[in-house]
């Protein structure tokens, strides 16, 4: 089942089911279709309402025969403000190698997770501003895992039971930083934090176009994925190429923190990022990230923010 967050008539977020084949989709408002069993709000509100709300949503979607055309609604990010956004660094072997790294021995390593702020989230079709601190904005297509129930110290064998669904994410990165400090000579720690700061700008985690429930994707490692900038395809891989699987990432993260409904895990990007060839995003370009069984996330690049709030 495809569950989207749409903009309601008064601008509020509302959860909706997307039904039908590509090009003929209709959208069903789930609050209205379930007599309020699905709360008004985004996918986070649906997950917080518990399994009964999801069950009601699936029943309503199954019997629906009419709705609004997909082209007539505005899609928002499935979850506007996740409680936690965890991202896996260096989780595809070829991506490590294209950056000059050596082949990773999985048996002697653990996943490398970092966090992004919730203000990094952007919705489908939303223009993402270039950062004011960098001219090297880069794409990173990733499979996004949306946690559906609370868990801690989760065994790998049970980890996928904690998944509500999957979405497309783009872990945008600023590969270099310009802090305006004359003569700055970064230490090893400075270089690490420059890399980390490059993950934080507003809009640097486009997400969508919706969440596909976990029952529709029994094996997330089988999914193909591609990313294009304009008409040129840059990334072309499958999730089977991950070093640490979705289940292993969930289990690892849960050793350090309680995972909660609505938390997002971005599972790493395959090879084909712009930094490998010195190719970076420019204002006006459009990225299209596609993952099999989920859909296409379209993200335009816009000018940098110049205002102060």
pLDDT tens readout for residues 129-177:
999 999 999 999 999 999 999 999 999 999 999 999 999 999 999 999 9
pLDDT tens readout for residues 188-235:
888 899 999 999 999 999 999 999 999 999 999 999 999 999 999 999
Say what the pLDDT of residue 101 is. 84
Question: 95: domain range?
Answer: 85-302
Rounded to 5 degrees, φ, ψ at 256 are -110, -25
3-class DSSP state for residue 234?
A: strand
The Cα–Cα gap between 63 and 51 comes to 19
3-class DSSP state for residue 75?
A: strand
Does some domain include residue 141? yes
| Final residue of a structural domain among 76, 99, 115 | 76
The Cα–Cα gap between 54 and 91 comes to 31
* Total number of domains in the chain: 2
The Cα–Cα gap between 304 and 180 comes to 16
Say what the pLDDT of residue 99 is. 84
- The position carrying tokens 């709030």 is 309
Does some domain include residue 307? no
| Final residue of a structural domain among 76, 108, 134 | 76
Fill in the DSSP letter of residue 17.
Answer: E
Say what the pLDDT of residue 308 is. 60
Does some domain include residue 308? no
Residues 214, 298: one domain? yes
Which residues are within 8 A (CB) of 291 and not within 5 positions of it... i.e. 6 or more apart?
A: 141, 143, 166, 168, 223, 224, 225
Q: Percent of the chain scored above 70 by pLDDT?
A: 99
Strand bridging mode 2-7 / 75-76: antiparallel
| Final residue of a structural domain among 76, 98, 131 | 76
Q: How many residues does the chain have?
A: 309
> Which stretches does DSSP call E strand in 121-263?
121-122, 128-129, 137-138, 141-147, 163-170, 173-174, 205-213, 224-229, 232-238
pLDDT tens readout for residues 225-264:
999 999 999 999 999 999 999 999 999 999 999 999 999 9
Does some domain include residue 270? yes
Which residues are within 8 A (CB) of 185 and not within 5 positions of it... i.e. 6 or more apart?
A: none
């Amino acid at each position: 089942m495809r569950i989207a967050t749409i903009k309601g008539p008064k601008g509020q977020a509302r959860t909706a089911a997307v039904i039908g084949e590509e090009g003929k989709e209709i959208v069903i408002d789930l609050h209205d279709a379930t007599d309020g069993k699905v709360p008004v709000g985004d996918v986070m509100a649906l997950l917080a309402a518990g399994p009964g709300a999801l069950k009601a949503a699936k029943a309503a979607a199954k019997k629906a025969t009419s709705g609004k055309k997909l082209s007539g609604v505005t899609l928002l990010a499935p979850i506007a403000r996740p409680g936690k956004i965890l991202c896996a660094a260096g989780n595809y072997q070829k991506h490590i190698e294209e950056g000059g790294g050596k082949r990773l021995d999985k048996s002697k390593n653990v996943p490398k997770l970092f966090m992004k702020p919730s203000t990094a989230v952007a919705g489908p079709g939303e223009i993402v501003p270039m950062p004011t601190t960098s001219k090297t904005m880069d794409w990173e297509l990733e499979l996004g895992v949306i946690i559906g129930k609370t868990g801690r110290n989760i065994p790998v064998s049970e980890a996928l039971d904690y998944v509500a669904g999957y979405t497309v994410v783009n872990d945008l990165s600023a590969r270099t930083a310009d802090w305006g400090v004359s003569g700055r000579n970064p230490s090893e720690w400075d270089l690490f934090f420059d890399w980390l700061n490059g993950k934080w700008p507003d809009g640097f985690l486009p997400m969508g176009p919706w969440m596909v429930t976990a029952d529709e994707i029994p094996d997330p490692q089988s999914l193909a994925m591609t990313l294009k900038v304009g008409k040129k395809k840059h990334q072309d891989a499958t999730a089977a190429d991950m070093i640490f699987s979705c289940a292993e990432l969930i289990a690892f993260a849960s050793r350090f923190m309680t995972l909660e409904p609505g938390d997002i895990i971005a599972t790493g990007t395959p090879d084909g990022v712009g930094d490998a060839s010195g190719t970076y995003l420019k204002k006006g370009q459009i990225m299209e990230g596609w993952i099999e069984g989920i859909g296409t996330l379209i993200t335009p690049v816009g000018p940098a923010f110049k205002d102060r709030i």
